[in-house]
Amino acid sequence: MSSQDRGRRLNPERGLIELYEADPERADAIVFGRRTPLGRRGFLKGFGLASVGAALGAIIPFARHMPSGLVPVALADEADWVRRLSGAGLTVLNDRPINAETPAHLLDDSVTPNPLHFVRNNGLMPEGADNGEWRLSIDGEVMRPTTFSISDLRSNFRLVKAALLLECGGNGRAGYNPPARGNQWTTGAVANAYWTGVRYRDVLNAVGLKPTAIYTGHYSTDRHSSGDPDKVVISRGVPIVKAMKADTLIAFEMNGEPIPLTHGAPLRVVVPGWPGSASQKWLNRIWIRDQIHDGPKMTGKSYRVPSRPVPPGAEVDNSDMRIIEAMPVKSLITRPETGYHLKHWETLRIGGHAWAGDHVVTKVEVSIDFGASWRRTGLEMPPNRGSWQDWSLALKLPSPGYYELWARATDDQGVAQPMLVPGWNPRGYLNNSMHRVAVTAI
Ligand SMILES: Nc1nc2c(c(=O)[nH]1)N[C@H]1C(S)=C(S)[C@@H](COP(=O)(O)O)O[C@H]1N2
Ligand SMILES: [Mo]
């Protein structure tokens, strides 16, 4: 293993499973503090004791009796998820918690199949839950605090099925320099599935909002990676006006099936076009607030960007950060796959999707000459509000050689994607720069 490989293996953004598979002795050294064969303890510093504690939630009194290279069974569950997600073609960015993104060419379908939908977890997923026993309670600034079962939701409210876009606020983070901490998402923390559920607003109308209600606060059953049962992993919310939009759902089906565990079984919020973090998974409580919700990951620098542009690498005061609401206009080239080769006289079929937060995309253009000229693509209207839009273009390349396909979407406000990474921000959110794909004509 070269020293560069070793550095990569120890990248805290990857995880212990991969490390165990690649280099069990070194993994032991990290987990149990044993000396590595090379005796290079200093090398492990970057990985940090914090992640060791986070990985197991406790010290191991009998560590000295554990066989070398034994994967602690506490990590076996994650190892299984890593196998399943990477088996489906996803790129696993972290295994504890599990985070995985989808390579662009696997997102070609108008509706993303469940196994190809990116997975973003801030903590450890709950154990599987029984749909019949699941309860959602709503309290706070409401007239009639109420607890609903899933069958109550199904029978009391109109069912809605819609294709809805989820994109992680950190999608594209890997493009920022200086780098921002967190999962190094490239382009694949986005997907568009059919979600079935009830309108959030119908449920709020049923329990009756008090005039003081201004924000929602969402709670769920995932567990903090520290192992502390009292620590809430993430509790975010949206302004009441957003919860009252027709395409904001409380969902129990994903593409016509019960929601898979990775995506929030059995009940989740879906707020299309807003940072994915607004779409709480494993939802069991809604607290209606008389102030902006201040749960974990609502405050500080989480899912927030500077209110004014700052130079790359700047220190920004928390009081100068604002909550991210609608995501910016963006597009993805899902065919051809980057690295594609064709005969130069063949027709090149290019296609993908585009989306624009709370807006509609009105134009997607493609350039094959590094932005010198642009061709308009055929763009579909969304099947419903909150869905991404398909676009396509067929063309012939002028001669053999290396080309880059660039795609640029423009929304109904006239706002277009930037060519390069947009304004740097401390946590690396909202990178909507153009997607580029390499093509070689022979
Ligand atoms: N309970 C809970 N809900 C959550 C999260 C989480 O960690 N816990 N992650 C959020 C984030 S940051 C994103 S981007 C979306 C991802 O949804 P997915 O995993 O179904 O793609 O879920 C959101 N809902
Ligand atoms: Mo996210």
- The answer to whether the beta carbons of residues 126 and 222 sit under 8 Å apart is yes
Same domain? For 360 and 414 the reply is yes
Q: Ligand 1 pocket, 263 CB below 6 A? A: yes
Mean pLDDT of 60-64: 65
Q: What is the DSSP letter of 124?
A: B
**226: containing domain:** 135-323
Q: Ligand 1 pocket, 427 CB below 6 A? A: no
Region of 413 on the Ramachandran plot (φ > 0 left; ψ -120 to 50 alpha; else beta): alpha
Burial of 122 (0-12, 13-18, 19+ CB in 10 A): middle
Last residue of a domain, which of 48, 69, 98? 98
Same domain? For 59 and 180 the reply is no
More confident residue, 222 or 40: 222
Same domain? For 283 and 351 the reply is no
Residue 221 CA: nearest ligand 1 atom is: 1
Same domain? For 70 and 141 the reply is no
Asked if residue 295 is part of any domain, the answer here is: yes
Same domain? For 251 and 313 the reply is yes
Helix (H, G, I), strand (E, B) or coil at 184: coil
Same domain? For 355 and 402 the reply is yes
- Tell whether the model's pLDDT for residue 53 goes beyond 70: no
Q: Ligand 1 pocket, 117 CB below 6 A? A: yes
More confident residue, 16 or 428: 428
Asked if residue 40 is part of any domain, the answer here is: yes
Q: How far is the CA of 170 from the centre of ligand 2 (A)?
A: 6
Asked if residue 118 is part of any domain, the answer here is: no
Residue 117 CA: nearest ligand 1 atom is: 21
The set of long-range contacts for 5-9, using a CB threshold of 8 Å and a minimum separation of 24, is 6/43
Q: How far is the CA of 134 from the centre of ligand 2 (A)?
A: 24
Q: Give the pLDDT of residue 12.
A: 44
Same domain? For 247 and 199 the reply is yes
Q: How far is the CA of 379 from the centre of ligand 2 (A)?
A: 27
Q: Give the pLDDT of residue 36.
A: 40
Asked if residue 363 is part of any domain, the answer here is: yes
Q: Ligand 1 pocket, 293 CB below 6 A? A: no
Distance from C-alpha of 20 to C-alpha of 70, rounded to nearest angstrom: 8
- Tell whether the model's pLDDT for residue 400 goes beyond 60: yes
Assign residue 412 the CATH number of its domain.
Answer: 2.60.40.650
pLDDT range class, residue 401, cuts 50, 70, 90: very high
Asked if residue 152 is part of any domain, the answer here is: yes
Question: pLDDT for 226-242, tens place per residue?
Answer: 778 899 999 999 999 99
Question: pLDDT for 327-363, tens place per residue?
Answer: 999 999 999 999 999 999 999 999 999 999 999 999 9
Alpha carbon 332 to chain centroid, angstroms: 15
- Tell whether the model's pLDDT for residue 45 goes beyond 50: no
Same domain? For 37 and 58 the reply is yes
Residue 120 CA: nearest ligand 1 atom is: 19
Distance from C-alpha of 145 to C-alpha of 435, rounded to nearest angstrom: 46
Q: Ligand 1 pocket, 121 CB below 6 A? A: yes
Same domain? For 406 and 281 the reply is no
Same domain? For 175 and 275 the reply is yes
Mean pLDDT of 247-251: 98
Last residue of a domain, which of 50, 83, 98? 98
* Peptide bond preceding 103 in cis form (omega within 30 of 0): no
Residue 264 CA: nearest ligand 1 atom is: 20
- The answer to whether the beta carbons of residues 117 and 168 sit under 8 Å apart is no
49-56 helix and 24-32 helix, angle to the nearest 10 degrees: 90
Same domain? For 276 and 180 the reply is yes
Task: Summarize the chain as % helix, strand, coil (round to 5).
Answer: 20, 30, 50
Q: Ligand 1 pocket, 224 CB below 6 A? A: no
Considering its fold, how many domains does the chain have in total? 3
Same domain? For 303 and 400 the reply is no
* % residues pLDDT > 90 (the chain): 77
- Tell whether the model's pLDDT for residue 309 goes beyond 80: yes
Mean pLDDT of 377-381: 98
Asked if residue 112 is part of any domain, the answer here is: no
Assign residue 288 the CATH number of its domain.
Answer: 3.90.420.10
